[in-house]
Amino acid sequence: MFKDAEERGAVIASSPLIRGAVTGRKYAEPMFGAGLDLTAYAAQLREQADKVKAGDLSAVETMLVAQANTLDMIFNQLARKAAHCEYLNQMEANLRHALRAQAQCRATLETLAEIKNPRPVAFVKQANIANGPQQVNNGIQPPPRVREENHKQSNELLEPSNGEWLDTGAPGQAGRGNPALETVGAVNRTGDR
């Protein structure tokens, strides 16, 4: 099946199921002892994963209910400990962790509710995301307003009113009554001092 031990190790290490089994086994040792068989545990995980792939989410729902219950117990225990603390920093730490456990419990229950009652999917033609009031026009569009005919083309070349074409490269004319443009005489130069 495998060419050598290195390929076997690489295939096993790249399997998310085996990685999860190794991690789960390490956390399960304090509760169930070091005798937990990795192969049997991985087989149970594969069986659960296959059920989920087939559409049976009962194991996932059971896990979420158990997690929500555990998080609720953690919240209550930490809130009770906070009520009996003598020092403010201990009370604050316990309450902070209690509220985190409560938030995680709520998120777990929301996930469970989403699995049991998925939201209906709505296909929207147009979605305008704006701050404040917004108008979404997804219905039948009204006929366009009748406009007067515009005889001037929007991409027509611009001309001055005297009929000469505009030339951006041509030198400009002098201002103030259009006198001939003359160079300014040298005044107050270093040689004149």
- pLDDT per residue as tens digits for the range 32-57: 888 888 889 999 999 999 999 999 99
State the pTM of this model: 0.54
Give the per-residue pLDDT at 166.
Answer: 59
> How much of the chain exceeds pLDDT 90, in percent?
39
Position 165 pLDDT exceeds 90:
no
Across residues 130-155, what is the average pLDDT?
Answer: 69
- Residue 6: the pLDDT is 87
Which of 6-10, 73-77, 168-172 ranks highest by mean pLDDT? 73-77
Of 31-45, 57-71, 95-109, 122-136, the poorest mean pLDDT is in: 122-136
Average pLDDT, stretch 142-150? 71
Q: Measured between alpha carbons, how far apart are the two ends of the chain, in Å?
A: 101
Between CA 102 and CA 68 the distance in angstroms is 9
pLDDT exceeds 60 at position 4: yes
**Rounded CA separation 182/159 (Å):** 27
Where are the chain's structural domains? 1-56, 57-119
Q: Among 12-21, 26-35, 139-148, name the one with the lowest average pLDDT.
A: 139-148
Contact (Cβ atoms closer than 8 angstroms) between residue 73 and residue 40: no
- The mean of the pLDDT values for the chain is 82
Task: Give the burial string for 140-166 (b: 16+ CB within 10 Å, else e).
Answer: eeeeeeeeeeeeeeeeeeeeeeeeeee
- Predicted pLDDT at 169: 67
| Choice between 64 and 152, residue whose per-residue pLDDT is larger | 64
